[in-house]
């Protein structure tokens, strides 16, 4: 049996009507109130013509309103496209157009962005949710949503430089919630800190898990390390899931010891490698907590494997064992399964794996082969079944938990009138995990400074995608076919 996202909320509202579901900026909403509000908004959507298969883009900060919107769309069968609010207007435009969204729901804070987008999206309707629920009934919508209906299209960076829209169904999210519940032994007594942005599949997946279990979760429009520590202290938080960069910001607070963290029993890290040094800092910051390391992909809703605190010490460099409903194998370039211990591409399958990429049959065929999701990550599985990551077949850079496609940055650099060619790689960064480095060849006789290149990129890319450093060279290493040898660049600059 698989529940829809809307059914998860309905069930928890019936089981825990007076329990606090969500806390944001001091406002608390019970499960009964949340479900009532969601139903009203769902009826408002129906009255507005937003129903099954309608695609709705969401440009909102973390908020109670965004949670309401997510579940309301789920109850009417709408397909949500959560947009990364850190993106520039041209980047947002790409995702909105490629997803065929007919409606854009935006928070009032994004009015300047909407003003820039509106002339280029004349056929898209722009809504705020403040008035949609007015005078609407709060009973359950009669429209029947099925588990295999599409629920979200989440855009993720690809190797071609253009984001791809992973299509996730209600069934995908249900099984991910079930996997998380069993892996973390989550229940209604948990108080979860959920500060990472809700446009991420990881945050969405956790919110559905919290609701599935009737847990309380705390969110905020923006992450601030001091506020995070205050929330842990004030609400006796039991569990936190964040990126290593967010944890580092909390640990680096000069007075973090002033906050009580003994209520925290579970600390989960994901989206980027969790280095031993950071694990040690987490153990110091949250002395009563078990540390979990999650490996996942947007295309898997996102959980694939989990390293629990119960694993033997010698397995601490792994990313654990597969989630309950997930099967993993290591394959060679021809897709053949490799024996234990051999290195190859990680492939997985399970009911949490996406339906495919929206309107992109070629990319779908490349990623999904005979029911297996080919992740683009390299690794191996030891004799005890623990998965180890050894690199990326894809050239993605992961900085602060965000995926960055080098070709996307290279395409922007190539447009500069003084740049002849450029290559982009990820280099180690103590704070971000990786940072973007641009290696640039200027046109003959031309001059640019590092800061000028960075400022040029800032005007056209989200800030987290811009190069943090720039190296000017006479030539780039290339193979016989004229392709830049990224491995040679990485070897050169990683050894410095």
Tokens 């996406």 sit on residue: 354
* CATH class of residue range 5-378: alpha beta
Give per-residue pLDDT as tens, 313-326. 999 889 999 999 99
482: pLDDT strictly greater than 70? no
**Spatial distance between the Cα atoms of 387 and 304, rounded to a whole number of angstroms:** 10
User: Mean pLDDT, to the nearest integer, of 229-252?
Assistant: 92
**Spatial distance between the Cα atoms of 357 and 35, rounded to a whole number of angstroms:** 31
User: pLDDT at position 299, please?
Assistant: 97
User: Mean pLDDT, to the nearest integer, of 54-76?
Assistant: 98
Task: Among 3.40.50.720, 3.30.300.30, 3.60.15.10, 3.65.10.10, name the CATH number for the domain at 397-494.
Answer: 3.30.300.30
* Residue 438, token pair as written in the block: 């641009």
198: pLDDT strictly greater than 90? yes
pLDDT grade for 370, boundaries at 50, 70 and 90: very high
For every residue of 43-91, DSSP letters joined together read: HHHHHTT--TT-EEEEE--SSHHHHHHHHHHHHHT-EEEE--TTS-HHH
**Spatial distance between the Cα atoms of 226 and 238, rounded to a whole number of angstroms:** 17
**Spatial distance between the Cα atoms of 386 and 318, rounded to a whole number of angstroms:** 6
Chain centroid to CA 24: how far? 20
pLDDT grade for 158, boundaries at 50, 70 and 90: low
Residue 378, φ and ψ in degrees, nearest 5? -105, 145
How many CB atoms lie under 10 A from the CB of residue 370?
Answer: 7
Chain centroid to CA 255: how far? 30
H/E segment holding residue 206: helix 201-213
User: pLDDT at position 114, please?
Assistant: 95
User: Mean pLDDT, to the nearest integer, of 460-475?
Assistant: 92
496: pLDDT strictly greater than 90? no
Spatial strand order of the sheet with 150-156 comes to: 125-127, 103-106, 55-59, 79-82, 150-156, 164-169, 356-357
pTM (predicted TM-score): 0.85
**Spatial distance between the Cα atoms of 422 and 473, rounded to a whole number of angstroms:** 9
Q: Average pLDDT over the chain, rounded to whole?
A: 92
Percent of the chain with pLDDT over 90: 75
390: pLDDT strictly greater than 90? no
Domain boundaries, the chain: 5-378, 397-494
Q: Which residue has the higher pLDDT, 289 or 391?
A: 289
**Spatial distance between the Cα atoms of 299 and 367, rounded to a whole number of angstroms:** 9
User: pLDDT at position 272, please?
Assistant: 72
User: Mean pLDDT, to the nearest integer, of 373-378?
Assistant: 92
pLDDT grade for 13, boundaries at 50, 70 and 90: very high
Q: Residue 461 in 3-state DSSP? A: coil
- What is the 8-class DSSP label of residue 281? H
User: pLDDT at position 491, please?
Assistant: 81
Q: Which residue has the higher pLDDT, 19 or 377?
A: 19
Exposure letters 74-99 (e unless 16+ CB within 10 A, then b)? bbbbbbbbbbbbebbeebbeebbebb
Tokens 């683009």 sit on residue: 376
User: pLDDT at position 156, please?
Assistant: 86
Q: List the end-to-end C-alpha distance of the chain, in Å, as a whole number.
A: 54
């Amino acid at each position: 049996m698989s529940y829809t996202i809307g059914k998860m909320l309905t069930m928890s509202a019936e089981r825990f009507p007076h329990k606090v579901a969500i806390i944001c900026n001091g406002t608390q909403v019970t499960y009964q109130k949340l479900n009532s509000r969601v139903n009203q908004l769902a009826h408002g959507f129906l009255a507005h013509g937003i129903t099954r298969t309608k695609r709705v883009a969401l440009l909102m900060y973390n908020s109670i309103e965004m949670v309401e919107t997510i579940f309301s769309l789920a109850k009417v069968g709408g397909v949500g496209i959560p947009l990364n609010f850190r993106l520039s207007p041209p980047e947002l435009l790409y995702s909105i157009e490629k997803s065929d969204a007919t409606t854009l729901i935006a928070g009032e804070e994004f009015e300047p962005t909407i003003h820039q987008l509106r002339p280029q999206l004349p056929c898209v309707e722009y809504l705020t949710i403040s008035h949609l629920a007015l005078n609407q009934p709060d009973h359950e919508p009669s429209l029947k949503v099925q588990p295999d209906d599409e629920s979200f299209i989440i855009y993720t960076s690809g190797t071609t430089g253009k984001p791809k829209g992973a299509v996730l169904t209600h069934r995908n999210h249900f099984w991910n919630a079930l996997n998380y519940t069993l892996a973390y032994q989550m229940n209604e007594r948990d108080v979860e800190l959920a500060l990472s942005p809700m446009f991420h599949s990881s945050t969405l997946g956790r919110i559905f898990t919290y609701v599935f279990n009737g847990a309380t979760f705390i969110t905020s429009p923006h992450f601030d390390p001091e506020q995070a520590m205050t929330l842990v202290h004030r609400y006796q938080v039991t569990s936190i899931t964040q990126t290593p960069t967010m944890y580092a910001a909390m640990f680096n607070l000069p007075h973090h010891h002033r906050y009580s963290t003994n209520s925290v029993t579970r600390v989960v890290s994901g989206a980027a490698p969790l280095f031993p040094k950071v694990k040690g800092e987490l153990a110091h910051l949250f002395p009563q907590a078990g540390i979990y390391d999650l490996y996942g992909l947007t295309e898997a809703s996102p959980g694939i494997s989990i390293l629990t605190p119960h694993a033997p010490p010698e397995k601490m460099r792994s990313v654990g064992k597969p989630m309950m409903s997930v099967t993993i194998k290591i394959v060679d370039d021809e897709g053949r399964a490799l024996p234990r211990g051999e290195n190859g591409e990680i492939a997985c399958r399970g009911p949490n794996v996406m339906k495919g990429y929206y309107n992109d049959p070629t990319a779908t065929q490349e990623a999904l082969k005979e029911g297996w999701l080919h992740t683009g990550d390299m690794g191996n599985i030891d004799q005890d079944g623990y998965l180890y990551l050894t690199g990326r077949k894809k050239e993605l850079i992961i900085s602060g938990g965000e995926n960055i496609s080098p070709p996307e940055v290279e395409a922007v650099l190539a447009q500069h009138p003084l740049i002849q060619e450029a290559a982009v790689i990820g280099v180690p960064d103590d704070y971000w995990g990786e940072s973007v480095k641009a290696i640039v060849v200027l046109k003959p006789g031309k001059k640019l400074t590092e800061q000028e290149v960075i400022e040029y990129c800032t005007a056209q890319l989200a800030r987290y995608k811009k190069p943090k450093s720039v190296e000017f060279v006479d030539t780039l290493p290339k193979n016989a076919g004229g392709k830049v040898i990224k491995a040679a660049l990485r070897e050169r600059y990683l050894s410095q």
